[in-house]
């Protein structure tokens, strides 16, 4: 056993234990850690955004742009950064109740541009790419008679899976979409297809659940390793 | 005018950014690249509002000695510590800001998420019952994926991790794709409603 002498390891360990104390019940130690996490996280994200995004995209271009302008070089593209700068300041009018309505200009700009990007972006990433991925794996089609030919020529589990998986994917996507299609009553053929959709959804939810559980368990193992190895030095 | 002008700005910007995608010109690409940066900058200013509200809320709690006001001091201390170290010493790897991040924020965040391992397990124990075919499928898929992630190769061989991988890659992916296509269609229709001014809740209340 070799207990750490690093003060920061001790702080991290104590805060870890404070949060685990919630497993017993809500208590002052947990509340302390919870509030500290909220505060530190809020500050962290703001600082990271500032240094990584505001400085290179707003402050530096403005400094360069105004530097060129005042040295007689005229207007440059760098001064375009004034647009988000001014919009950002306008959004802060929300803090002054009398002129808070002005913040809607900046919100309208943000929302409009963002929704415009979403229309084409989502069409590509969430619809076209998913349809492509349903039918193709890389440059090869997921469904091919040749896969079945390969299987019958030399039967093996790998080949039967290769032949069946593609069609299964196509059927699964169509059935799942049918389940979410509410313009027609789920009766008869549509009802049957929707029921198969439920089967795929249940397997999907189960798999996602299992995957999430294991991700959380690996985090738990990581924390236990920290406590037992880095802090207490019980394990190596 | 206080509501109409923002709606007009929203419509024009939405239209520009939608049309921009179909214009293969370098000015169009310049607009898209810069717009992404501009939106992030506006978002950062919006974060000032968010942090301002958080600070205001906790300051009021402390000022009026409301319930649990002592914890509000802790939250205020956390914000202040992050901002002071971040702006004072920068964000280099060995800066005080990153020390705070590595030894305060990361351990607490990871522990918070790992807590879910206990609650998810207890919830599963209480609710996972193979009463119907659908529930049984969910249960079986979850168990296979969980066991497939455990290194049991020496005991049961490769078939279990392979089966878990296959479930994740095909039936699970089929359901996910169906859901994602639905999300895509929903997001696009909502975006159109916002651009066209049919959905106006973002304007908020008041004049």
* Average pLDDT across chain A, whole number: 93
The answer to whether A172 contacts B202, with C-beta atoms less than 8 Å apart, is: no
Nearest CA in chain A to B79: A39
> CB-CB: which of B49, B54, B182 is closest to A91?
B49
Rounded distance, CA A161 to CA A166, Å?
9
Tokens 């168990």 correspond to B143
Burial track A20-53 (b if 16+ CB lie within 10 A, e otherwise): bbbeeeeeebbbbbbbbbbbbbbbbebbbbbbee
End-to-end alpha-carbon separation of chain B, Å?
Answer: 9
Biggest CA-to-CA distance, chain A: 79
A23-72 per-position pLDDT tens digit:
999 999 999 999 999 999 999 999 999 999 999 999 999 999 999 999 98
SS (H, E, C) A221-236: HHHHHHHHHHHCCCCC
The answer to whether B191 contacts A119, with C-beta atoms less than 8 Å apart, is: yes
Task: Quote the pLDDT of residue A23.
Answer: 94
Q: Is the pLDDT of residue A151 over 90?
A: no
Biggest CA-to-CA distance, chain B: 72
| A197 interfacial to chain B (CB closer than 8 Å) | yes
Interface of A with B in 31-50 (CB under 8 A): 31-50
B184-198 per-position pLDDT tens digit:
999 999 999 999 999
What stretches in chain B show pLDDT beneath 70? 207
Domain boundary assignment for chain A: 142-236
ipTM associated with this complex: 0.86
A102-143 per-position pLDDT tens digit:
999 999 999 999 999 999 999 999 999 999 999 998 888 888
Task: Quote the pLDDT of residue B154.
Answer: 75
Within 13 A of B73's CA, how many CA atoms are on the CB side? 9
Task: Quote the pLDDT of residue A226.
Answer: 95
* pLDDT bracket for residue A81 (50, 70, 90): very high
Q: In chain A, which residues have their Cβ closer than 8 Å to the Cβ of B178?
A: 172-173, 175-177, 179-180, 197, 200-201
B46-74 per-position pLDDT tens digit:
999 999 999 999 999 999 999 999 999 99
């Amino acid at each position: 056993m070799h207990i750490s002498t690093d003060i920061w390891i001790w702080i991290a360990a104590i805060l870890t234990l404070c949060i685990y104390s919630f497993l017993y019940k809500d208590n002052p130690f947990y509340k302390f850690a919870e509030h500290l996490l909220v505060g530190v996280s809020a500050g962290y994200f703001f600082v990271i955004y500032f240094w990584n995004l505001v400085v290179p995209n707003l402050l530096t271009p403005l400094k360069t742009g105004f530097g060129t302008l005042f040295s007689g070089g005229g207007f440059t593209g760098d001064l375009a950064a004034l647009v988000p700068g001014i919009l950002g300041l306008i959004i802060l009018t929300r803090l002054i109740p009398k002129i808070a309505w002005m913040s809607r200009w900046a919100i309208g700009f943000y929302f409009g541009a963002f929704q415009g990007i979403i229309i084409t972006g989502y069409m590509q990433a969430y619809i076209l790419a998913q349809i492509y991925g349903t039918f193709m794996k890389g440059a090869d089609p997921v469904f091919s008679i040749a896969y079945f030919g390969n299987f019958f020529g030399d039967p093996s589990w790998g080949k039967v899976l290769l032949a069946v998986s593609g069609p299964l994917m196509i059927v699964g996507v169509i059935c799942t979409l049918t389940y979410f299609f509410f313009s027609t009553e789920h009766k008869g053929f549509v009802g049957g297809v929707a029921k198969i959709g439920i089967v795929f959804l249940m397997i999907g939810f189960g798999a996602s659940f299992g995957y999430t559980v294991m991700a959380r368990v690996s985090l738990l193992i990581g924390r236990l390793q920290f406590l037992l190895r880095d802090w207490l030095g019980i394990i190596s | 005018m206080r509501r109409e002008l923002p709606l007009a700005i929203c419509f024009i910007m939405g239209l520009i950014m939608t049309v921009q995608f179909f214009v293969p010109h370098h000015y169009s690409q310049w607009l898209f690249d810069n717009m992404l940066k501009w939106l992030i900058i506006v978002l950062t200013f919006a974060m000032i509002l968010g942090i301002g509200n958080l600070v205001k809320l906790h300051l009021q709690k402390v000022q009026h000695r409301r319930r649990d006001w002592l914890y509000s001091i802790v939250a205020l201390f956390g914000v202040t510590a992050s901002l002071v170290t971040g702006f004072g010493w920068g964000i280099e790897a060995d800066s005080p800001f990153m020390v705070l991040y590595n030894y305060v924020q990361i351990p607490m965040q990871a522990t918070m998420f790992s807590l879910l391992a206990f609650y998810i397990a207890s919830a599963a124990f209480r609710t996972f019952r193979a009463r119907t075919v659908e529930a049984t499928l969910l249960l079986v898929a979850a168990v296979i994926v969980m066991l497939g992630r455990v290194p049991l190769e020496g005991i049961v061989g490769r078939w279990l991790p392979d089966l878990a991988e296959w479930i994740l890659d095909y039936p699970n992916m089929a359901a996910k794709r169906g859901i994602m296509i639905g999300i895509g269609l929903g997001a696009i229709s909502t975006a159109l409603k916002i651009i066209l001014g049919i959905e106006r809740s973002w304007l908020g209340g008041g004049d």
